[in-house]
């Protein structure tokens, strides 16, 4: 093409070169074409067609005028087909033209080709029934009946309709995708703003609107979720018919679950309405003090101490509710004595609460033995998610010691073990011991065991190599000749 561009046209003024699917060119082809595109001859015009503009290199895009073509709207295709039908003397129903437009999927050329084929089979009259038979399209009537069966929880009726659909030669996967589109159309009909997204004829629009009123948004959303999952797992299913039937049964059970939830809510509402409202009578402050608060010489009982705060709060609420407008009053001696008795009652209650909290704290810190400590120390390995093999071996091989004051001490052999233990396991083990042994005063400390230097086990890679080197000195020569080193 680069060589032919230099030759001017013999007939006409311009030479037009159309490169379809230009994004399929390799990077080397783009670079070769770039120089010609930067300085083209005056008679050359290049048209680059692609459906994936993002795959073209930016240096090519920057030197082109870009025209983005989009799919033709469904309404525009129907209007054009209606114009062609009127011009050719063909009587066509609007629903039939809508089916053709949907099959064309935004391409006017495909819509006209389908229109010509159906006219050649059906003659000068195009009906909805003729179009769906020739194009092998499932009748919308099945979808409307299927949704009605879902709402009335008729599982048997939905299975019978599925059997009839399959006997007519339709694939169950095709039916599932069509049902998903139908429920999607019902969902967009629920809102006035999204109703414009419904692509259907005038006759079907009314049916969609009527059926959407009898369905809830939650039912449609859950239905779409079930159908999308069924569509995703359809190809991997070995029994596709059973897979589709189970999907229909799940959709039928949605309405049953909705009825159960509604009945439960109604029962709860009835119970709340039957609650008896007790009328409270105004009670004077003086009477409350005389009845509820004990005298100075009378000792407090345990039951009165436990219930005193609750009664005091209730009495204060009653007094505040029925208190008249503010009037200055003088405090009597009896009221002052009652006030001091109230303070003593509150102080005694606080002391009881402090004692109970202290006893609960003591009960939590239970005493445990060294065997229980070792058992929970190893139990930590089963309940943890540590992925370091060395650290697991360290925890398993080094059992801790218990000292006074619930001090747990673990003696490790070298600094590497101590660093790994403190960094990755110390806090988790401490929390595990506190919860399992029911003692919040446990402390965990890691130390180095200096008395085991002679008989300590090799831990690092270098220590392991030195340990093997003492057994076989030739390993040093092998390491030097092979150029090996530690990781």
**CATH, residue 414:** 3.30.300.180
- Please give the model's pTM, rounded to 2 decimal places: 0.47
Do residues 380 and 420 both lie within one domain?
Answer: yes
Gap between the Cα atoms of 30 and 64, Å rounded: 13
> Does 247 lie in the same domain as 113?
yes
Whether 126 maps to a domain, the answer reads yes
464 within a domain of the structure (yes/no) = no
Same domain, 231 and 124: yes
Amino acid 258: pLDDT: 65
101 and 242 co-located in one domain? yes
80 lies in the same domain as 56: no
Contact 73, 88 (CB under 8 A): no
Provide the number of structural domains found in the chain: 4
Looking up residue 228, the CATH number of its domain turns out to be 1.20.272.10
CB 212 within 8 A of CB 189: yes
Q: Which residues pair with 48 in a beta bridge?
A: 19
Q: Tell me which H or E stretch contains 226.
A: helix 217-232
Residues 346 and 405 placed together within one structural domain of the fold: no
Q: Are 43 and 14 contacting, i.e. CB atoms less than 8 angstroms apart?
A: yes
Q: How many CB atoms lie within 10 A of CB 108?
A: 15
User: Do 427 and 388 share a domain, yes or no?
Assistant: yes
Judge if 44 and 168 occupy the same domain.
no
| DSSP 8-state symbol, 452 | G
- Mark whether 376 and 431 lie in a shared domain: yes
d(CA 11, CA 33): 25
What is the crossing angle of helices 172-188 and 217-232, to 10°?
150
In angstroms, the Cα distances linking 27 to 35, 89, 200, 401, 485 are 13, 53, 45, 70, 44
For helices 333-364 and 302-321, the axis angle rounded to 10 degrees is 130
Pairing of strands 15-20, 443-448: unpaired
Contact 24, 53 (CB under 8 A): no
Question: Exposed/middle/buried for 428, CB within 10 Å: 0-12, 13-18, 19+?
Answer: middle
The DSSP line for 407-447 is EEEEEESSHHHHHHHHHHTHHHHHHHHHHHHT-TT-EEEEE
DSSP 228-281: HHHHHTTTT-S-HHHHHHHHHHHHHHHHHHHHHHHHHHHHHHHHHHTPPPPPPP
22 within a domain of the structure (yes/no): yes
Is residue 284 one of the residues assigned to a domain? no
DSSP E strand boundaries for 6-139: 15-20, 44-49, 91-92, 125-126
Counting as low any pLDDT under 70, the low residues of the chain are: 257-364, 387, 450-459, 487
By CB atoms closer than 10 A (0-12, 13-18, 19+), residue 481 is exposed
User: By C-alpha distance, which of 206, 209, 212 is closest to 151?
Assistant: 212
Q: What is the DSSP secondary-structure string of 303-329?
A: HHHHHHHHHHHHHHHHHHHS--S----
**What pLDDT is stored for residue 35 in this prediction?**
85
Query: Does one domain contain both 375 and 442?
Result: yes
Neighbouring residues of 88: CB distance < 8 A, sequence distance ≥ 6 = 119
Residues 129, 163 contacting (CB under 8 angstroms): no
Partners of 47 in the β-ladder: 18
**Same-domain check for residues 248 and 316:** no
Residue 467, domain member (yes or no)? no
Q: Distance between the two ends of the chain, CA-based, in angstroms? A: 58
Residue 99's Cβ-side half-sphere holds a number of Cα atoms within 13 Å equal to: 25
Residue 466, in any domain of the structure: no
CB-facing half-sphere around the CA of 483: CA atoms within 13 A = 0
Range of the domain at 20: 2-61
Contact 280, 318 (CB under 8 A): yes
% helix, strand, coil for the chain, step of 5: 65, 5, 30
Q: Let me know if residue 70 belongs to a domain.
A: no
Does the residue 267 lie in any domain? Answer: no
Sequence-distant (6+) residues with CB within 8 A of 457 are 397, 413
Do 80 and 53 fall into the same domain? no
Per-residue model confidence (pLDDT) at position 18: 93
């Amino acid at each position: 093409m680069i060589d032919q561009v230099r030759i001017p046209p013999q007939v006409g003024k311009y030479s037009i070169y159309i490169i379809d699917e230009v994004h399929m060119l390799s990077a080397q082809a783009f670079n070769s074409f770039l120089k010609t595109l930067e300085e083209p001859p005056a008679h050359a015009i290049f048209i680059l067609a692609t459906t994936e503009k993002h795959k073209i290199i930016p240096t090519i895009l920057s030197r082109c005028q870009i025209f983005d073509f989009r799919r033709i709207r469904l309404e525009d295709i129907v209007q054009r087909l209606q114009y062609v039908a009127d011009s050719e003397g063909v009587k066509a129903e609007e629903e039939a033209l809508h089916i053709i437009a949907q099959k064309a999927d935004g391409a006017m050329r495909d819509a006209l080709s389908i229109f010509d084929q159906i006219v050649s089979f059906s003659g000068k009259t195009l009906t909805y029934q003729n179009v769906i038979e020739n194009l092998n399209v499932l009748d919308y009537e099945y979808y409307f009946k299927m949704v009605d069966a879902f709402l009335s929880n008729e599982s048997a009726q939905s299975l019978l309709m599925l059997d009839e659909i399959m006997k007519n030669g339709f694939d169950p996967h095709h039916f599932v995708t069509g049902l998903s589109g139908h429920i999607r159309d019902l969902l967009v009909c629920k809102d006035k703003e999204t109703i414009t997204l419904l692509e259907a004829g005038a006759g079907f629009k009314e049916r969609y609107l009527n059926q959407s009123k009898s369905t809830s948004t939650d039912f449609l959303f859950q239905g779409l979720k079930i159908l999308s999952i069924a569509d995703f797992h359809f190809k991997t299913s070995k029994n596709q018919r059973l897979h589709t039937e189970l999907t229909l049964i799940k959709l039928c059970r949605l309405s049953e679950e909705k009825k159960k939830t509604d009945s439960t809510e109604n029962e709860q509402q009835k119970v709340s309405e039957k609650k008896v409202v007790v009328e409270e009578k105004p009670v004077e402050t003086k009477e409350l003090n005389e009845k509820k608060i004990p005298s100075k010489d009378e000792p407090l009982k345990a039951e009165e101490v436990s219930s005193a705060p609750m009664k005091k709060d209730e009495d204060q609420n009653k007094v505040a509710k029925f208190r008249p407008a503010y009037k200055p009053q003088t405090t009597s001696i009896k009221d002052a004595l009652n006030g001091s008795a109230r303070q003593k009652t509150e102080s005694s209650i606080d002391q009881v609460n402090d004692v109970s909290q202290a006893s609960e704290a003591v009960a939590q810190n239970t005493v445990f033995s060294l065997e229980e400590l070792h058992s929970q120390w190893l139990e930590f390995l089963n309940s943890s998610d540590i992925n370091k093999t060395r650290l697991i071996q360290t925890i398993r091989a080094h059992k801790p010691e218990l000292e006074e004051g619930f001090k747990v001490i673990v003696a490790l052999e070298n600094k590497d073990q101590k660093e790994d233990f403190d960094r990755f396991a110390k806090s988790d083990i401490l929390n595990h011991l506190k919860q399992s042994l029911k003692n919040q005063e446990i402390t965990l400390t890691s130390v180095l065991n200096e008395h085991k230097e002679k008989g300590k086990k090799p831990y690092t890679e270098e220590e392991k190599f030195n340990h093997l080197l003492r057994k076989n000195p030739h390993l040093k020569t092998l390491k030097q000749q092979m150029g090996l080193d530690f990781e």
